[in-house]
Structure 1
Amino acid sequence: MRYGGARPTARGWAFSAVGLVALVGGPALGQRDILRIGVLLVVLVLVAVWSTGRAVRTLELVSRSKDELVEAGVASSVRLSVLGRARAGVRLVVEDAAPLALGGTARLPVPRLREGETLDLEYRVRSEVRGSYALGPATVVAGDVFGLVRARRVLGEPVVLDVLPRVHPLTELTLGELGGARGSSASASAAAAPDDVSIREYRIGDDLRRVHWRSTARRGAVMVRSDEHPGRPDVVVLLDTREGAHRGRGAGSSLEWAISAAASAASHLQRRRHRVRLLHDGTYDPPRELDETSSVRGLMRSLARLRPGAPDGLARSVTELGRAEATLLVAFLGDVDEDDVAPLLAARPLGVPALAVLLRTDDWASAPAPRDSGEGAAEAGPARLERARLVLARAGWRTAVAGPADAVPDVWARLTRVDARGHHSPAPSTREVPS
């Protein structure tokens, strides 16, 4: 616990100066009343220094707690427990430092406490922007009733509060042809399936080689065998975090839109018992060996603390993707062209359904950021984006294009919509994109 000592306020310094002048000038002028006033002022300041310096030591921080997971735009509580007693004539306030993004420093008055009594203090924080913020350290501030002296003492150490990106409710993926296992492996697996295994309805992420065709034909819905799940591969959420691939600033940037969309997709799939791993800047986060609960928290914290990545971040992620196994691939891409997405076609695990959201990043800024010089560098962004989308779509990817006016749930609905024949039929985006 660090003790800052008792120091006079501006009023205290004024009282001290007047008192000293009266102590010197009273005898010189032969005015005892002035001398008495000087003694009174000086003694008053000294008593205030003593009382506040003593009182600031009467509080101890017992515990500090905060909500484990906090979402952007949602208020949460921070709780402090202090032990001690407040002395008469001295006002105690506990201050907990917080950045302006969370509402600024909280000031919590402490009433008079009996010896050994514990007091629980609570305040609310709220941030509209995801991120990792420092809370504290808590400080007890003691002041006399005349406001002459302040004493400060630090209680405990600062803690980190992670504000997660906004998570939007998403619609279920419609059952139907999602792409996937090709050739005879799926059929052979289904044909060899015994009739006495447990059958359930298909969920996105299930291995299509385990489709039970007899039950599917009988019920009119895709059914799968659920007799074995150990070793199920991951669902991979690929996030393009390259700083040069995004536009805009702060909470209104294309990167923040992509992070919120990735968090929504990851949360949506994890709630349905799919193991989700985040891939960005060539790194999987969190590590595969974490248990399910830790994995969920680790993934969300990673998104909360994520910063813009390096120019080669997408290329390194594609390299890592090519070494992985997965049951579903979901990609959120920034400013890309044909050359950026072409490696994704080869890196996509064989037979795995793949979804991609491509962002019209130029719409997040009044003037688009310049790209590398070279052939096609000055080409209009929408045309580049449309050709990149067509490259993915022709390779069997489901695609959707999103701009700043598009809500994440609406884009997800376009991405996952199928028609009566089971074919992907994305609705048009809010802005026409030239081919």
Structure 2
Amino acid sequence: MPSDPTSGVRAGLRGLTTRGRSFLAAGITAVLCAYLLDQDALLRVGLLLAALPLAAAMVVANTRYRVASGRRLSPRRAVAGQEARVHLRVDNVSRVPTGLLLLEDKVPYVLGPRPRFVLDRVEPRGYREVSYRVRSDLRGRYPLGPLQLRLSDPFGMCEVNRSFSASDVLTVVPQIQALPHVRLSGEWAGQGESRSRTLALAGDDDVILREYRPGDDLRRVHWKSTARYGELMVRREEQPQRARATVLLDTREIGHRGSGPASSFEWAVSCAASVAAHLLERGYQTRLLTDTGQSVPGPGTGGTNTAADSSGLILDALAIADLSDGGGLSRAEEPLRTGGEGLLVAVLGDLDEEQATRLARLRSRTGGAVALLLDTGTWAGLRMLAPDTGGEQFQARVRQLREAGWTVLPVRSGDSLPDLWRAADGARTTSPYREEAGA
């Protein structure tokens, strides 16, 4: 909103459209011709032509509509390749109706063209709602807004832009594939049949007790201990144990091949998202760990977050995951040593002998270990032209990890993740490419 009439006139003149400038030029020309030819009628026409755009500029520039806007995303996290809808609401909070309003929302080109809407008239205290769709095949975080409001006069002589300050962020997460339920080698369920058998073996000596407090349920009174201590003792609330899992994502640039959505790195990111979502669904307390040492959820938050919270944090991190310049997995070893007693699922790119050796040593610190080892040469097209190119080194890494106790799933470009995951059930005997691995 202009602070004074002079600035308002200047803003209005800058907002003259091609039609308004043409009328003004025609009016000035007519006035000059009328002065030279001494034609009073032509003078009146010229003044009228020049006055019309000037009047429109003053009216539009000094328009004092009070308009509020809001934006709602559905959903706030969109899956790559799927559409999301953006809902806009414009409220007229003033006591006078608005004129013609043109709305334009600022959208990154990746999501599509900028949406534009025309609102003819909004009554006092009224509102209008419009919506548009966005879609991206690339994961990431994309800003939406701010919303721009364009005021125009009925004759189209002048347009003045107003911009709101609020903006939102649309998060496009990797594609997630549903994985089959399999019993992984060495996993600890933490619940279910094995959990029931553990509780069944617990006797009276394993019960955790505390003093009775007003309001405690009398059904929780432990009478044997009450008689022993001479005061009411109750059993503590049982804290259900949850199995832990770590999904390790190899983001090293030197460990991946290909470019764009069809690269091995994008396959690895989608694989990590699918595995994390699957483990969270099965009740695992899951964290995402990268070769840079970054852990999501961070230390101290994993136990307090719900599965939905953890899933959201992991997907947000994977939405902006990028290739790193690291040369090895050493920075991920310390988090695995200190908190890697659960199931470990690693999505790995190319490994050299030293990296495979260090991963082999980490196997003893985990309850179970599954490695999806990417044969990145197939993403670069090397194996397509010459199947034996670099294959011996890849098979050597597969054997090395298997000898250390890992369940290794070799992955080639075009493989189905659900089929690979299904093969993890007893993978030592049914693993894909078994003949190649034993060559």
Q: Which residue of 2 aligns with 1:49?
A: 57
Q: Which residue of 1 aligns with 2:269?
A: 259
Q: Is the 8 A contact 1:179 1:396 kept in 2?
A: no
Q: Which residue of 2 aligns with 1:353?
A: 368
Q: Is the 8 A contact 1:341 1:388 kept in 2?
A: yes
Q: Which residue of 2 aligns with 1:240?
A: 250
State the shift of 1:392 in Å: 0.9
Q: Can you list the C-alpha shifts for 1:138-176, whole angstroms capped at 9, x where unaligned? A: 11112234433221111132222111100111111147x
Q: Can you list the C-alpha shifts for 1:191-224, whole angstroms capped at 9, x where unaligned? A: 9952899xxxxxxxxxxxxxxxxxxxxxxxxxxx
Task: Output the CA distance in 1 between the equivalents of 2:365 and 2:241.
Answer: 17
State the shift of 1:105 in Å: 1.6
Task: Output the CA distance in 2 between the equivalents of 1:9 and 1:433.
Answer: 71
Out of 60, 63, 76, the position equivalent to 1:68 is 76
Out of 92, 98, 102, the position equivalent to 1:93 is 102
Q: Can you list the C-alpha shifts for 1:6-55, whole angstroms capped at 9, x where unaligned? A: 41123322222222222222221223343233222222212321333345
Change over 3 Å in CA distance of 1:38–1:402 after alignment to 2: farther
Task: Output the CA distance in 1 between the equivalents of 2:437 and 2:16.
Answer: 67
Q: Is the 8 A contact 2:86 2:133 kept in 1?
A: yes
Q: Does 1:302 align with 2:309?
A: no
Out of 417, 420, 431, the position equivalent to 1:426 is 431
Task: Output the CA distance in 2 between the equivalents of 1:64 and 1:260.
Answer: 27
Matches within 5 A, 1:23-422: 23-55=31-63, 57-62=65-70, 64-84=72-92, 90-174=99-183, 178-179=185-186, 194=201, 230=240, 232=242, 234-280=244-290, 281-290=292-301, 291-292=305-306, 293-312=308-327, 314-350=329-365, 352-366=367-381, 380-414=389-423, 416-418=424-426
State the shift of 1:260 in Å: 0.4
Q: Can you list the C-alpha shifts for 1:368-397, whole angstroms capped at 9, x where unaligned? A: 9xxxxxxxxxx9433222211111111121
Q: Which residue of 2 aligns with 1:19?
A: 27
Task: Output the CA distance in 1 between the equivalents of 2:20 and 2:381.
Answer: 55
Q: Is the 8 A contact 1:85 1:112 kept in 2?
A: no
State the shift of 1:2 in Å: 9.7
Of 322-331 and 9-18, deviating more is: 9-18
Q: Which runs of 5+ in 1 are unaligned?
A: 182-186, 198-226, 369-378
Letter matched to residue 110 of structure 1: L
Q: TM-score, normalised by structure 2?
A: 0.78
Letter matched to residue 22 of structure 1: A
Letter matched to residue 289 of structure 1: G
Q: Is the 8 A contact 1:319 1:347 kept in 2?
A: no
Task: Output the CA distance in 2 between the equivalents of 1:192 and 1:98.
Answer: 56
Task: Output the CA distance in 2 between the equivalents of 1:157 and 1:64.
Answer: 12
Q: Which residue of 1 aligns with 2:222?
A: none
Q: What is the alpha-carbon root mean square deviation over aligned residues?
A: 3.3
Q: Is the 8 A contact 2:68 2:93 kept in 1?
A: no
Change over 3 Å in CA distance of 1:52–1:360 after alignment to 2: farther
Of 2-11 and 104-113, deviating more is: 2-11
Change over 3 Å in CA distance of 1:192–1:228 after alignment to 2: closer
Q: Is the 8 A contact 1:235 1:276 kept in 2?
A: yes
Structure in which a larger fraction of residues adopt helix:
2
State the shift of 1:318 in Å: 2.5
Q: Counterpart of 1:355 in 2: which secondary structure? A: strand
Change over 3 Å in CA distance of 1:48–1:252 after alignment to 2: farther
State the shift of 1:263 in Å: 0.3
Task: Output the CA distance in 2 between the equivalents of 1:78 and 1:45.
Answer: 36
Letter matched to residue 260 of structure 1: S
Letter matched to residue 70 of structure 1: A
Change over 3 Å in CA distance of 1:147–1:250 after alignment to 2: farther
Of 96-105 and 23-32, deviating more is: 23-32
Change over 3 Å in CA distance of 1:29–1:349 after alignment to 2: farther
Task: Output the CA distance in 2 between the equivalents of 1:192 and 1:278.
Answer: 30
State the shift of 1:256 in Å: 0.8
Task: Output the CA distance in 2 between the equivalents of 1:246 and 1:169.
Answer: 24
Change over 3 Å in CA distance of 1:391–1:313 after alignment to 2: closer
Q: Is the 8 A contact 1:277 1:284 kept in 2?
A: yes
Q: Percent identity?
A: 33
Task: Output the CA distance in 2 between the equivalents of 1:62 and 1:191.
Answer: 54
Letter matched to residue 370 of structure 2: L
Of structures 1 and 2, the larger Rg is shown by 2
Q: Which runs of 5+ in 2 are unaligned?
A: 189-193, 205-236
